[in-house]
Amino acid sequence: MANKPLTLLPTGYKSSCSVTASNHTQREKICTENMGETLGDRIGLSDEVINAAASLAMKAHDCTGKPFLRKKGLPVTVFAFAGSWLPDDWCAQPPFGETKMDTSNFPSLKSLGDDGVALVNGSFLRRFNAIQSSLAKKVKKVIGEKKQVVFTGYSSGAPVAILATLYLLEKSEPNQSPPRCVTFGSPLVGDRIFCHAVRREKWSDHFIHFVMRYDVIPRIMLGPSSTEHKQILDLFNPGSESFRKHTDSSLGLYSSVMRNASMVANYDACNFMGCKIPALETLRNFIELSPYRPFGTYIFFSGSGKPVVVRNPNAVLQMLFYYAQWSQEEDAEAAKKGLNEHLAYQLKKLQSLGKQNVVYLDHLEELPVSSDGSPATVNTTLNDLGLSTQAMLCLQATGELEKRKSRNQDKIINDYKQKIEGELRKLSKYKEKAETCGLGYYDSFKLQEKEDDFQANVSRLVLAGYWDEMMEMLKAYELPDEFEKSHDFIRLGTDYRRTVEPLDIANFYRHAKDEETGFYVNKGTRPKRYRYIQNWLEHAEKKPSGSRSESCFWAEVEDLRIKTRSNGSSPEIKQKVQQLGQNLIKWIDDESLGKDVLLENSTFVKWWKPLPPEPLFTSKMIFFLSVCKILFPVLNM
């Protein structure tokens, strides 16, 4: 057909599932149908609430003068948001209209590794910000009544519902019933970091997205804003002369959206398959791809009307492209469907959810690429989806990626963790031995005069290898998104950082690297693994960035030693010295820093004692009195 969307099969990728495999039990796990269990049972929302949400979402979308509607009389309270067909309310800044997420309202929507902030559609964020205050008052009242909140939206009202849900999740108390979000025909809202952060926080299951098979709107943000986008919106806009008027150009409009979806889906497929297609790489150099990606649970409607549930976000992206494919004979009809189906979310298919069998696409790594050897139930379901062999391969690869992430995590838990703990025990003994000799382990390591110092350096390097490999896995999204929230690894990482970073600092100043690169904590100097792990702890404790910098204490000491020699009378330096003293009291008190820093021959004490008494006399007196109370609690009266 003319303007057929681009589809490319990555070279070098081999299916991990034999097309002639006969293990029916394994295959039946892939496509499971509920027997007596409703969709609402599985997703934790009753059919009554889902249909009420659909009805209110459609009503609110076209409601003029009210930014949102509220429905009571259910076990939950439903809020639905108004929509808009104006192009600026979809993308105000071409090509994609993305902006950095507001971290004051959405502190979790960021990457913990490099502090990269999630990108979100700026027009959708602006519309949410406009109603945030009035919405918060209404929601607070509902929460006070101990009722669960469900946010919903249709079309461009859906992104506002998504942002409202995330906002409330950020603010929710542990004993509070978390909000839910149900969308219908929603455009994509955020980028890959957005998706990663939602999964890391274990919020993904709070979001349910209903999508009709050919609906153009859930795919529209995969392409840049253009005249064609405006023409599509005009077809849905009751105030436009083009409202619901299908013309010969409809096919071209729909095909344009699908071509953009094709490029994004194929590019991502190549990345998670570990393959390279020269044509795509060349295109990537000249064409900016959409940053938007799906997240949450998607419920697609198949040819027979059976809802198909997909939770894997990479698989959802592939489904958004491949599931909307059509034959050449269906050109005009498919384009018309793509525009008409966006208006069909309150029709019979959705209203009879409780009576339908539901297909769950799980264990995608075992998805057969052909019907040979598959059980009849699997064949029927896959045939109903109408997916090509290439689509099956891409979906299979998304499942394999998740399986690979789990294998990597198992390797870390079953192998690396034990080895890391073993090396940390060695360094703990090294630290104790150094203290008995009257010299803290920082200073002992810096001198490098004994065999123990050499062995400690070996442990430092071995540990760096393990943690650097983990950081590379995280950077490449080769570990489960939830890994960074693991309490065990936050604790282990914190122990590692507090124990080993002082040795890195000692090595840094022993070799006078500060003369080449400047202060240790300067950007690009401090190893990324320590910044990454520190971010884990600060995020878990909901503390400001940089507040857990106790492992950099010795770097602060070394830097101030140099600066007080050359410019000690500077008000800025005096303030930093006082701040260091205050931090030291706090860190020793909460045991995040060892008391060995106060040994008589430590670098810190040797530098601190001779400091001029004025204007630091008062702070020095307070400091040493506080330290005495910490070291000798019997003196506390």
Query: What CA–CA distance (Å, rounded) separates 397 from 274?
Result: 10
Strands 68-71 and 119-121: unpaired
Kindly compute the dihedral angle of the four CA atoms of residues 608, 611, 614, 616, in this order, to the nearest 10 degrees: -20
Query: What CA–CA distance (Å, rounded) separates 55 from 227?
Result: 31
Q: How many residues does the chain have?
A: 637
Type of residue at 539: H
Query: What CA–CA distance (Å, rounded) separates 92 from 584?
Result: 49
Which residues make beta-bridge pairs with 219? none
At 138, list the tokens: 């209404």
Q: Does residue 61 have an active-site annotation?
A: no
Type of residue at 7: T
CA nearest neighbour of 206 among 246, 165, 240: 165
Query: What CA–CA distance (Å, rounded) separates 294 from 266?
Result: 15
Query: What CA–CA distance (Å, rounded) separates 456 from 503?
Result: 9
The radius of gyration computed from the CA coordinates of the chain, to the nearest angstrom, equals: 29
Residue listed under structure tokens 């299951």: 205
Identify the active-site residue in 46, 55, 111, 155: 155
Strands 98-100 and 119-121: antiparallel
Buried b (16+ CB within 10 A) or exposed e, 105-141: bbbbbbbbbeeebbbbbbbbbebbeebeeebeeebee
Query: What CA–CA distance (Å, rounded) separates 84 from 121?
Result: 14
Q: Does residue 155 have an active-site annotation?
A: yes
Is the distance from CB of 266 to CB of 6 less than 8 angstroms? yes
Is the distance from CB of 502 to CB of 82 less than 8 angstroms? no
Query: What CA–CA distance (Å, rounded) separates 213 from 258?
Result: 13
CA nearest neighbour of 148 among 56, 51, 53: 53
* DSSP alpha helix (H) spans, 274-311: 278-286
Query: What CA–CA distance (Å, rounded) separates 341 from 553?
Result: 61
Label residue 404 exposed, middle or buried (CB < 10 Å: 0-12, 13-18, 19+): middle
Provide the 10 A C-beta neighbour count for residue 28: 16
Is the distance from CB of 188 to CB of 221 less than 8 angstroms? yes
Provide the 10 A C-beta neighbour count for residue 287: 13
Q: Does residue 246 have an active-site annotation?
A: no
Which are the contacts of 139, defined by CB distance < 8 A and separation ≥ 6? 79, 149, 164, 168
Alpha-carbon distances, residue 571 vs 563, 577, 585, 614 (angstroms): 12, 10, 22, 12
Alpha-carbon distances, residue 108 vs 129, 168, 479 (angstroms): 17, 12, 19
Is the distance from CB of 240 to CB of 328 less than 8 angstroms? no
Identify the active-site residue in 342, 374, 443, 486: 342
At 35, list the tokens: 């027997």
Query: What CA–CA distance (Å, rounded) separates 550 from 502?
Result: 10
Kindly compute the dihedral angle of the four CA atoms of residues 454, 456, 461, 462, in this order, to the nearest 10 degrees: 120
Identify the active-site residue in 55, 111, 196, 215: 215
Active site members: 155, 215, 342
